[in-house]
Structure 1
Amino acid sequence: MAHFVLPSLRYALAGMALALVSHSVLAQPLSVENAKVRAVPPVSTNTAAFMVLHNRGDSDLAVVDARSPAAEITELHNHVDVDGVMQMRRVAEIGLPAGGSAELAPGGLHLMLIDLVAPLHEGDEVEITLVLDSDETLTFSAPVRRIEVMGGGMSGKDSGQNGGHQAH
């Protein structure tokens, strides 16, 4: 009888584990679109990542940290006007209201990749992990693109979409 109970117990445990994993994936409705990392000259040690974050859920979310194997340090940043001079500042979080979005773009919110571990070339893919206030993470790849700023927006070779990523 133990011969039949053990496989059944294994299936039950596997089913419970799958249910927990599925719940974690579905519980966090964060998605990323149009992610890209700015191409910089090979001598540059820092770059920035841009994207649109969507919270398709009923509860507010916040991105509280980020990391990437492409850089020693990855930080959440914003540009702020200090006495008429735009300055880049680290921020503690990027809030996403329920049903809302946040655009990370040149001249505004963005991710800084500091002390790159190797030069990045246009067309490379950079792995980025966002950490939410719930300790859940969202890992995705962003292509390295040349990004030109025109009127505060993004243009040039940056129209590719990298959507459909779900937190897990």
Structure 2
Amino acid sequence: MKLPTLRQGLLAAALLLNSAAWAQPGTVQARDAWARPTVGGQPVGGAYLRLQNTGGTADRLLGASTSAAERVELHSMQMSGDVMRMRQVDAIELPAGTTVELAPGGLHLMLMGLKAPLRTGERLPLVLRFEKSGEVKTELVVGNRGPSAAASMPAHMHGHDHKQ
């Protein structure tokens, strides 16, 4: 094999391997994870974060866990007439190359069966489970950020219906 042909072959192989790496899953990043403080006896809490899929393949958030709660559920909130309805969802879609915001009044995590009140300043481990990216570990910082879902709704829409 001539030297220029060998170089061309190596270059082609390197480009092929590089393009295959771009198509690989496992490119989801969790950013700015936080949870609202709770009071004693409150059995549930809300958690929020940004999920950034930097890859070229769509992925899905299938579940999550934290040592602070018995279980974590994926939820959405939507207006239905004059009532804000919260529903558990099976997965949260993460299209390729996008950022999905889990925020008050929309998609979010519900921490069910809290083992202790969530106190401002605490840092809690959070493990997110994705269909293609596997497990992504992050940390929830407990504190108040932004308006609550109720505070951001007009006064006549403060009804709440929790259905699963």
TM-score normalised to structure 2 length: 0.72
Change (3 A) 1:153 1:85: closer
After superposition, residues 124-135 of structure 1 pair within 5 angstroms as 124-134=122-132
* Unaligned segments of structure 1, at least 5 residues: 1-22, 155-168
Instruction: State the partner residue of 1:82.
Output: 80
Give per-residue Cα distances to partners, 1:94-126, cap 9 Å, x unaligned.
Answer: 111110110000000000001101122101111
Alignment RMSD (CA, Å)? 2.3
Scaled by the length of structure 1, what TM-score is found?
0.71
After TM superposition, which residue ranges in structure 1, 4 or more long, deviate above 3 angstroms?
150-154
| Equivalent residues, number | 130
2:10 matched to which residue of 1? none
- Kindly tell me: are residues 51 and 135 of structure 1, through their superposed partners in 2, closer, same or farther at Cα, counting changes over 3 Å? closer
> If you compute each CA radius of gyration, which structure gives the higher value, 1 or 2?
2
Deviations 1:24-60 (A, max 9, x none): xx85111111110111222311101111100000000
Task: From the superposition, tell whether residues 151 and 50 of structure 1 become closer, same or farther in structure 2 (CA, over 3 Å).
Answer: closer
How far apart, in 2, do the equivalents of 1:153 and 1:65 lie? Answer: 27
Tell me the distance in 1 between the aligned counterparts of 2:38 and 2:59.
Answer: 31
Q: Which letter does structure 2 place at the counterpart of 1:31? A: Q
Asked whether the equivalents of residues 61 and 91 of structure 2 are also in contact (C-alpha less than 8 Å), the reply is yes
Aligned counterpart, 1:145 = 143
Aligned amino acid, residue 140 of structure 1: T
Q: How far apart are the structure 2 equivalents of 1:141 and 1:80?
A: 27
Do the aligned residues in 1 keep the contact of 2:36 with 2:118 (CA within 8 Å)?
no
- The corresponding residue for 2:37 is 39
Equivalent position to 2:118, from 117, 120, 142: 120
